[in-house]
Structure 1
Amino acid sequence: MKQITLAVLAAFAIAGTCSAAVKDGTYTKTVTGHNAPITVTVDIKGGKIASIATKDLESPGVGKVAIKKLEDSVIKNQSTNIDIVSGASVTSFQLLGAIKDCLKQAGAEKGDFNKRITDANKAPVTERADVVIVGGGGAGLASAVSALEHGAKVIIIEKLGFLGGSTNVCGGALNASGTKYQKALGIEDNPQKHFEQTMKGGHNVSDPKLVKVLADNAPSALLWLEGMGLKFNPKVGAATGALYQRSHYPNPAGGNTYVVTLEKQLAKYGPDRVKVFLETPATELIMKDGRVVGVKAKHKGQDVTAVADKGVIVTTGGFGSNVEFRQKVNTGVWKEADLGKEIGCSNIGVAAQGQGLQLAEKAGAELIGLSDIQVHPNGSPGTGLMLDIKTSGRNRLFINTNGDRFVNEGAARDVLSKAVFAQPGSTYWLVQNKLRYPDENAIDLLSGRTMRDMLAQGRVKKAANLDELAKIINVDPARLKAAIESYNQVARHEVEQDKFGFKATHTDDRPMVEGPWYVARKVPTIHHTMGGIHIDTGAHAVNAKGEIIPGLYAAGEVTGGIHGANRLGGNAVADLMVFGRIAGSNAAQAK
């Protein structure tokens, strides 16, 4: 009887994790991923999931991280009933759905491979460090590395299932002046010019002291990253709305390269110096005698307390995806526009909700400039994500649905986006040609992808000549040719500027005359929120009286005062590196 009971129990233990009914073999399913179709191949051997292979174009640091985590978990646990990865929910659900379909093809029944697996632990945990960082995005990672360099022990509290946050999906442009890369191209630049253009681009409402810190320290931040092994492309560009040719792009292109570099640096210090809590949203800053001394958080129902002996740094990013809040504070540059749910956001949705602002405000920090919201012209219809061909760089045209140019393509982001809103349907066609993509198999500096891959996804269309392009976008060929010729007259220096104010002042400016031509439809998207926690030049959070809140620091998009009413393209990465570095250093050395 005992043997029978044990056998039954063993059967129940196996049930839900695998099935003798499934047939060995290889099964494939293609599903719609976040960026593009995902093809999943599951290999069944001995009635178990032996391997999972995925062909995808998901974002490095986000979707690709989720895929690896979920594949490993499914194989280890022989179950598809596992927790998704926060911040990559679309990829997670689609991948798990594809795996389930493959198992069904193999003969699995509804309850097979379905044992509930979770890493949730209800026992409270308390950890202690010198510096606790809330938010493991670009600014948080920069703060962590800086604090470690100054001898601190560090804890990172991150609500997503991976590090890097929305830095993973940013274009990666870093504005810095007077660099060796600029000098090699004959570009004259200096921190004062960077300062002046940042002030002007921000409508002269930025805090000049903060802007000076940004401009003066951006070159050394670039060198700091190079010291960690990060490579920059020697071709200096101009991000959308940068106003000058000082945008430095990492190689490989894209913000994830910064994340990978900083993560590798963290790993050098080991678990005794730095601990990371993922899937752990912060819920409260702990106060004692007017000082911030720690953070309370939750990990899947588990209470987590992180005690900070020297300081807490808030680096949780902006609030661009919080539709209700952005509508509430939209009284500035975009007060005439409806920034409701019809307008997407270029950042990771769950990462851009503004919780860090609420935490800091409850601790006494002043919030400033919340109405300063940036709209970017490079959104993809339906999502607002900045996919495929980019508005950054030069030799690209904004063509409306009538076939006309309608704006100086080198203008600031708010000017570009307002011009798009004024067009029929608040949309336009972004047109590029062989100048930008001489080789469809080469990786693009700005997108980090090949034109071949972009064409395969279908959002970008290709035309051999302008007549064919006009047919694709349904405009009069003569009108389209006239629009492009107006640009080319400036690019050939036949006229100094056109009626929109465009001037050919960039080293890359050339006439656009030769096919193939590439086109994608674009819409405005929420890209950055310039308001947030009021900080001083040392990245200390301050109250409404300008007094430092002991133990509290902030860096990155969660702060206000640096970018004014409009951020220059390329200044965000510079901001998070410069002020993240300052926050980490000052917190680590606090008395």
Structure 2
Amino acid sequence: MDDETVDLLVVGGGMAGLSAAARVAAEGGSVVLVEKADRPGGSARFAGFVWTAPTVEELRRVNPDGDPELAAALLDGFAEGVEWIRSLGVECRPPVPVLGFGRGHQVDTNHYLDTCERLIRERGQQVLTGTRTTSLVVENGMVKGAVCLLPDGSERRIESRWTLLATGGFQGDRALRAEHVHPRAADIELRANPHSRGDGLALGRSAGADFGAKDAGFYGHLMPAGVSLADPARFVDLALYYSEHALLFDTTGERFVDETVGDHLTAMALLERPQARGLLVADARVHREWISASYVAGIPGVDKFQLCHRAGARSAVADSLADFASMPEEWGYPGATVRDRIADFNATVRSGGATTPDRLLDRQPLDEPPFYAVEAAPAITFTFGGLLIDAGAHALSADGDGAGRRRVPGQLVAGADAGGLYRRAYAGGLAPALVFGLAAARTALTESPADLAH
């Protein structure tokens, strides 16, 4: 095994890992980035917006149970992260509203990721693809690098002052999803790259890093049930973002969540219902204003109902509410109950009353035929639970001082490997990966792991 010492070893080449490695290389530091896929980029290649809440107060409102220190760090570092992207010559468009409360920028994410990789290589630093990290090098409680398995089957020991875990979470592992998200999560579709299977989680815990709350949840979307997501093009094309303006019924024919809080939150709620599937119903107004319209400014609208239908989803158009009583028995929903609940909902909102569950936002009736029904199921993009960190991306261990946490010397964590920021709430995925990836780079360039060992 070859020995070498670098300022930063990055395990995982997604948004967080590439941002950290490129920043260290740009500042003249030495870095090795290890990615087990054949190409860096990870699930960030399927995203296109860097966004979050506009203020710490707003982030705390939508995410009250998240770590306040991490929330403040995210907002403090967001503008710097956007300027870093622009400094590389990557287009970052003017800010637009996102999800009703957020603010962010459309970015050519693939251009950014490829630019980071090119910068690393041009500065004489290394990017190792098709390479799996098998273990961390830990001496006297300090992480000093890792042992990696190269594509030719040989091992390589890479020694480093700091080691950053940024492997993208554990959503690609069915058993870990069942353990840390929900037992039914083992069987939901993966709306992400297949390589993020908890490598960072296992490596970090082996060196003493602590895992956060098990019930933190996940980010995902409602997708048409029973439709394969093997083609990444379907991740966005088939996402049922318009659910915020529709009604969602479980297999008992009842509503169970305020759909208007956001499709990403509704996906978590549906996972906990019987069979983790539901019937999403919209009317002609919702079809006109939301199903076939642009979801975010700058993104062309497409008729998602037609896309789902052509993909083979269980879907139907009803000319009237009465038609719901004739719903095919094999669908497994009590159509007459769904019909009655829609009628009850319409009568209640017309009178100004409170529905059950009530709706915070869109309280217009669904009474303009025809009606569009699609069977929906949750799909997972990335996990919220992960290794605990502080604002500097240091991994935290449960044992230590009176605060109950200590920094693990030499170990950093960012991206979806890091937990604590969100708890059953969400305000952007690329932004935290970018901000805490750059924080990890700053730590690697300015701090000594030895200082944490005393």
Deviation at 1:159, TM superposition (A): 0.8
Deviation at 1:561, TM superposition (A): 2.1
1:207 maps to which residue? 67
Report deviation, 1:236: 1.6
- Report if the CA contact (8 A) 1:435-1:512 is conserved: no
Paired position in structure 1 for 2:10: 133
Equivalent residue for 2:184, pick from 335, 339, 357: 339
Whether 2:429 is the aligned partner of 1:429: answer: no
Structure 2 distance, partners of 1:377, 1:258, is 20
* Structure 2 match to 1:118: none
Give the aligned residue type for 1:435: E
Separation in 2, partners of 1:322, 1:307: 26
| Alignment map for 1:54-65 (pairs within 5 Å) | none
Q: For residue 305 of structure 1, what is the amino acid of its counterpart?
A: R
Instruction: State the SS of the aligned residue for 1:574.
Output: helix
1:579 — aligned with what? 436
**Secondary structure, counterpart of 2:429 in structure 1:** helix
CA–CA separation in structure 2 for the residues paired with 1:526 and 1:588: 34
Alignment of 1:391 with 2:241, yes or no, is yes
For residues 188-217 of structure 1, give each alpha carbon's deviation from its aligned partner in whole angstroms, at most 9, with x where no partner exists. Answer: xx322213432x2xxx3x332222222333
In 2: Cα distance, 1:249 partner to 1:448 partner: 16
Are residues 469 and 421 of structure 1, via their aligned partners in 2, closer, same or farther at CA, if it must alter by over 3 Å? farther
Amino acid at match of 1:159: K
- Taking the aligned partners of 2:326 and 2:6, their CA distance within structure 1 comes to 59
Unaligned runs of 5+ in 2: 230-234, 329-333, 449-454
What's 2:210 paired with? 366
**8 Å contact 2:279–2:375 — kept in the other structure?**
yes
The structure 2 residue matched to 1:246, chosen from 96, 102, 108, is 102
Task: Find the aligned partners of 2:179 and 2:272 in 1 and give their Cα distance.
Answer: 23
Q: Following TM superposition, by how much is the alpha carbon of 1:283 offset from its aligned partner in structure 2, in angstroms?
A: 0.9
Distance across 2 between alignment mates of 1:141 and 1:485: 52
Distance 1:264 1:469 in 2: 54
Task: Check conservation: 1:176, 1:218, Cα contact below 8 A.
Answer: no
How far, CA to CA, are the matches of 1:273 and 1:267 in structure 2? 10
Measure the CA separation in 2 of the matches of 1:359 and 1:222: 30
Indicate conservation of the 8 Å contact 1:391/1:430, yes or no. no
Q: Is the 8 A contact 2:219 2:380 kept in 1?
A: yes
Structure 2 matches for 1:530-549, cutoff 5 A?
530-544=384-398, 545=400, 546-549=405-408
Q: How many Å separate the matches in 2 of 1:143 and 1:407?
A: 39
Q: How big is the alpha-carbon RMSD for the aligned residues of Structure 1 and Structure 2?
A: 4.0
Counterpart code for 1:408: D
Closer, same or farther: CA 309–438 of 1 in aligned 2, 3 Å: closer
The CA deviation at 1:274 is 3.6
Match of 1:180 in 2: none
- Report the Cα offset of residue 537 of structure 1: 1.6
Q: Tell me by how many angstroms 1:583 deviates.
A: 0.8
Contact 2:51/2:105 (8 A) holds in 1: yes
CA distance, structure 2, for counterparts of residue 322 and residue 232 of structure 1: 35
Residue pair 2:227, 2:311 contacting (<8 A) in 1 also: no
Structure 1 residue 264 corresponds to structure 2 residue 108: no
CA contact (8 A) 1:132 1:306 kept: no
Residue of structure 1 equivalent to 2:375: 521
Alpha carbons 1:317, 1:558 under 8 Å: kept: yes
Superposition pairs of residues 435-514 of structure 1, within 5 angstroms: 435-438=289-292, 450-451=302-303, 454-459=308-313, 461=315, 463=317, 465-466=319-320, 470=324, 474=328, 480=339, 483=342, 486=345, 495=352, 497-504=354-361
* Structure 1 residues 317-337: Cα deviation after superposition (integer angstroms, max 9, x where no partner): 22233233344456xxx5xxx
Deviation per residue, 1:150-194 (Å, 9 max, x gap)? 3323321011122222233458563230xxxxxxxxxxxx32221
Matched, 1:354 2:204: no
Q: SS at 1:577's partner residue?
A: helix
Partner deviation per Cα, 1:5-59 (whole Å, 9 max, x = no partner): xxxxxxxxxxxxxxxxxxxxxxxxxxxxxxxxxxxxxxxxxxxxxxxxxxxxxxx
In the TM superposition, what is the alpha-carbon distance from 1:136 to its structure 2 partner?
0.7
Distance in 1 between residues matched to 2:39 and 2:367, nearest whole Å: 44
How far did 1:553 drift?
A: 0.9
Kept in 2, the 8 Å contact 1:421–1:427? The answer is yes
Distance 1:339 1:165, change over 3 A: same
Hey, what's the Cα distance between the residues in 1 that align with 2:431 and 2:9?
Answer: 22
1:295–1:419 CA distance, 2 compared to 1 (3 A): closer
Residue deviations 1:429-473 (CA, integer Å, cap 9, x gap): 23451112446xx89769878436555433375748556984996
Gaps of 5+ in 1: 1-123, 178-189, 239-243, 252-256
CA distance in 2, matches of 1:577, 1:319: 19
Residue identity in the other structure for 1:342: D
Secondary structure, aligned partner of 2:176: helix
Alignment map for 1:322-337 (pairs within 5 Å)? 322-329=173-180, 334=182
Q: 1:135 offset after TM fit, Å?
A: 0.4
1:193 is matched with which residue? 58
> In structure 1, what is the equivalent of residue 137 of structure 2?
286
- Of 84, 87, 92, 1:231 maps to 92
CA distance in 2, matches of 1:125, 1:481: 70
User: In structure 2, what residue type is equivalent to 1:397?
Assistant: L
Q: 1:528–1:500: structure 2 CA closer, same or farther, 3 Å change rule?
A: same
Alpha-carbon distance between aligned partners in 1 of 2:80 and 2:336, rounded to the nearest angstrom: 49
The answer on whether the counterparts of 2:222 and 2:266 sit within 8 Å (CA) in structure 1 is no
Distance in 2, Cα, partners of 1:324 & 1:476: 35
Give the stretch that moved more between structures: 423-432 or 207-216. Answer: 423-432
Partners of 1:359 and 1:156 in 2: CA distance:
16
1:210·1:561 contact (CA, 8 Å) conserved in 2?
yes
Which residue of structure 2 lines up, in the alignment, with residue 155 of structure 1? Answer: 32
Residues 153/464 of structure 1: CA separation in 2 closer, same or farther (3 Å cut): farther
Aligned equivalents of 1:169, 1:322: Cα separation in 2: 19
Return the index of the structure with the highest Cα Rg: 1
What does residue 451 of structure 2 align with? none
Corresponding residue to 2:410 among 515, 534, 551: 551
Identify, as 1 or 2, the structure richer in helix: 2
Task: Using the TM superposition, give the Cα deviation of residue 586 of structure 1 relative to its aligned residue in structure 2, in angstroms.
Answer: 1.5
Q: CA deviation at 1:401?
A: 5.2
CA drift at 1:282? 0.6
State the 1:376 CA deviation.
Answer: 4.8
Identical-residue share of aligned pairs (%): 22
The match for 1:307 is 158
Distance 1:153 1:519, change over 3 A: farther
| Matching residue within 165, 170, 183 for 1:319 | 170
Q: 1:489 to 1:153 in 2, by over 3 A?
A: farther
The number of aligned residues is: 425
Retained in 2: the 8 A contact 1:539–1:554? yes
SS at match of 1:287: strand
Residue 555 of structure 1 and its aligned partner are, at CA, apart by 0.5
What is the rounded CA distance, in whole Å, between the counterparts of 1:487 and 1:217 in structure 2?
A: 45
Counterpart-to-counterpart distance in 2, 1:581 and 1:487:
49
